[in-house]
Homo-oligomer: A and B are copies of this chain.
């Protein structure tokens, strides 16, 4: 036993995150464990504690990769031609598609339901922020450029679409498939914005 020095700290971290992503993807989050990740990369479990605070910390890093992939998925498939409400509806569609296609990893994003007082890591919150920012930008025209309003509206829409997707994919609204969920999300986006702009005039 003892030092091997096969990999740098940084390499180790990357290997573990990659292995974790694969483990969740292949076998679902229920089968995830820090011990399995260690086995997958050929190290002992203890070693991962040199590199991550604990199991939660590793999961947050895995989730961070998933958020990057999600952002990428949404942005690259977002037709630049689309404007305004249509663009936001397309984003909703992409979110639901991603959640369906990468279901285990998307689930992992929300596994950490902690007591109210527990906090998410700061760097993780920043990453979430940049997802919200995409919608905020698209919303500016509807709120006369007021960034605070855009932020609020973005929360309503992301929250709303996420909720429909979440209850839908976990079978809590019946047997609805992704197509219906997209329809519901589109309905939410379209009518909410329509109601909002109506009221302002």
Contacts and interface: CB of A to CB of B under 8 A. Distances in A.
Nearest to A106: B113
Quickly give the copy total for this chain.
2
A123 interface: no
B116 A103 contact: yes
Contacts of A171: 119-120, 125
Interface in A180-201: 184, 187-188, 190-196, 198-199
Which of A107, A159, A160, A167: most chain B CB closer than 10 A? Answer: A159
A91 interface: no
Nearest to A107: B113
A159 B173 contact: yes
A155 interface: yes
A104 interface: yes
B156 A164 contact: yes
A23 interface: no
Contacts of A165: 159, 163
A192 B160 CA distance: 11
B104 A115 contact: yes
A161 to B, nearest CB: 7
Given A119-B171, A158-B163, A159-B168, 15 more contacts: A28-B115, A114-B170, A152-B187, A155-B167, A159-B160, A159-B164, A159-B166, A160-B164, A162-B166, A163-B165, A166-B166, A191-B196, A194-B194, A194-B198, A195-B195
22 contacts: A100-B116, A103-B115, A104-B115, A107-B114, A110-B110, A110-B170, A116-B169, A120-B170, A120-B172, A152-B184, A155-B176, A155-B184, A159-B173, A160-B160, A160-B163, A163-B165, A188-B188, A191-B192, A191-B193, A191-B194, A194-B194, A194-B198
